[in-house]
A and B are shown apart, each in its own frame.
Chain A
């Protein structure tokens, strides 16, 4: 199973602040996904990213969220102005074109105070 890395492992921020969560790519993975898991709840899809563009997004992924892959390097999720309800575990996932299996990172725990 390919290793998937996310940084930071834990982020604490004040409400209204911007946060950037990072996912380290594997070169032959073309599809990227962000999911979140509010404590004790199910994992929810946020957005998928392919060929440097958003391909799908959920209702959760509003104007406060953005994703990018600057310079073909890290895949990032930005939350512009965090709210208390953004506190959750955020998972990055990747997939190769040739498979239907998504591999998840260990997650970033975001705590908004």
Chain B
């Protein structure tokens, strides 16, 4: 079945460092790909998404490109801030033959130090 694999955390960075969180997926169809963020004590917020190959999602300085050839959707940010400290979840949703329940990775906890 479909699955998502994320790099293990936690990740600790200094402010203004470059961030990459790796995400790869396995899917039989043509899923949409998402990054959700969970700040401490809060629910899941959509960070960005991409719906087809070569699409780039971006929001709040974060970017991820849907790479079909490598089945990847890595999250990047050029300069992280303390306020980016959160847990980041990669997810896929395949709406081809279903209602599109999301399949999540295990999450990567990011801590940014001043």
Query: Judging by beta carbons under 8 Å apart, are A104 and B99 in contact?
Result: no
How many residues from B make CB contacts under 8 Å with A? 24
- Assess the B45–A1 pair: CB atoms within 8 A: yes
B49 interface residue per 8 A CB criterion: yes
> Which residues from 89 to 113 on chain A have a C-beta closer than 8 Å to any C-beta of chain B?
91, 93, 95, 100-107
Q: Determine if A33 is an interface residue (Cβ-Cβ < 8 Å).
A: yes
Are the CB atoms of A106 and B100 closer together than 8 Å?
Answer: no
Q: Is the CB of A103 within 8 A of B46?
A: yes
Query: Would you call B95 and A100 a contact (CB within 8 A)?
Result: yes
Contact string against A for B residues 83-114, beta-carbon threshold 8 Å, 1 for contact and 0 otherwise: 00000010101010011111111110000000
B51 interfacial by beta-carbon distance below 8 Å? yes
Residue of A nearest to B106 (CB): A42
Q: Which residues of A contact B99 (CB under 8 A)?
A: 31, 33, 48, 50, 55-56
Taking a contact as CB atoms under 8 Å apart, the answer to whether B101 and A41 are in contact is no
Are the C-beta atoms of B102 and A106 separated by less than 8 Å? no
Which residue in B43, B51, B101, B105 is a CB contact (below 8 Å) of A33? B101
Interface centre among A33, A100, A105 (most CB of B within 10 A): A100
The reply to whether B105 and A42 form a contact with Cβ atoms under 8 Å apart is yes
- Taking a contact as CB atoms under 8 Å apart, the answer to whether B107 and A102 are in contact is no
What separation, in Å, do the CA atoms of A47 and B21 have in the docked complex?
28
Q: Could you list which residues of chain B lie within 8 angstroms of chain A, going by C-beta atoms?
A: 32, 34, 36, 42-46, 49, 51, 89, 91, 93, 95, 98-107
- In the complex, 10 of the A-B residue pairs with CB atoms within 8 angstroms, ordered by the A residue number, are A33-B99, A42-B89, A43-B44, A48-B99, A55-B99, A56-B98, A56-B101, A100-B95, A102-B46, A107-B44
